[in-house]
Structure 1
Amino acid sequence: KSIIQRKPLAPTARRAGWIGCNIDLSQVPSKGRIFLVQDGQVRDPEKVTKEFKQGLFLRKSSLSSRGWTIEILNCIDKIEGSEFTLEDMYRFESDLKNIFVKNNHIKEKIRQQLQILRDKEIIEFKGRGKYRKL
């Protein structure tokens, strides 16, 4: 849903029939947006590299697993503030069920993905169902 096909070039165009795409960046979780320049300032290269390396684990993930991780990150982005609870995440259960219609274990998958994000130091587990965005 992030790649949007454009209409083909006109028959009179030099590359007639070529079809390009646009990328809808609004679907990319905030952790997936790595700025080299932000607010007109060049960011510290070490911080940029660290942020980039944090997301590399997704390359090794299956397409299905990657989809879950991205959707869970999008859910976390929708929660205001830097701290959230497992109950906050469970509020997205019906949204996730609409995306992953064949999965009947949504709450279990939410917990699994939170553990993965914790292990990758994208979120911090504070105990008793409480988390903090890093």
Structure 2
Amino acid sequence: MKLKSTDFLKSKSLEARGWILDILNCVEEIKKQSFTLDELYAFENKLKIKYPNNNHIKDKIRQQLQFLRDKGLIEFNGRGNYRKIEI
């Protein structure tokens, strides 16, 4: 699957880019077109290792999903359900 352009990352700080890319990578690891918030929460421990000072990983996951939705890379279908948007 090929996602839409990520040119918007150029204007983000290094840490912000890191989170966005990490969540995008988690989304890509889910091999289905549609996925749930709980499936992304399964990456919490992996992200906690990468960001040990962040005690709000699930909040950050939701924040990044909202950002990716607003940028048109994923679609929110309600009740924790999402869909990848292909170009």
Given the two structures, how large is their TM-score scaled by the length of structure 2?
A: 0.92
Superposed CA offset, 1:6-61 (max 9, x none):
xxxxxxxxxxxxxxxxxxxxxxxx64xxxxxxxxxxxxxxxxxxx4xx31210111
User: What is aligned with 2:10?
Assistant: 59
SS at match of 1:131: strand
Larger relative contact order (C-alpha < 8 A, sep ≥ 6)?
Answer: 2
* Alpha-carbon distance in 1 for matches of 2:28, 2:49: 18
* Alpha-carbon distance in 2 for matches of 1:109, 1:65: 11
Of structures 1 and 2, the larger Rg is shown by 1
Matching of residue 94 in structure 1 with residue 45 in structure 2: yes
Over 6 Å off, 4+ runs: none
More helix by share: 2
More strand by share: 1
Query: Gaps spanning 5+ residues in structure 1: where?
Result: 1-29, 32-50
Query: Gaps spanning 5+ residues in structure 2: where?
Result: none
Percent same amino acid at aligned positions? 54
Given the two structures, how large is their TM-score scaled by the length of structure 1?
A: 0.60
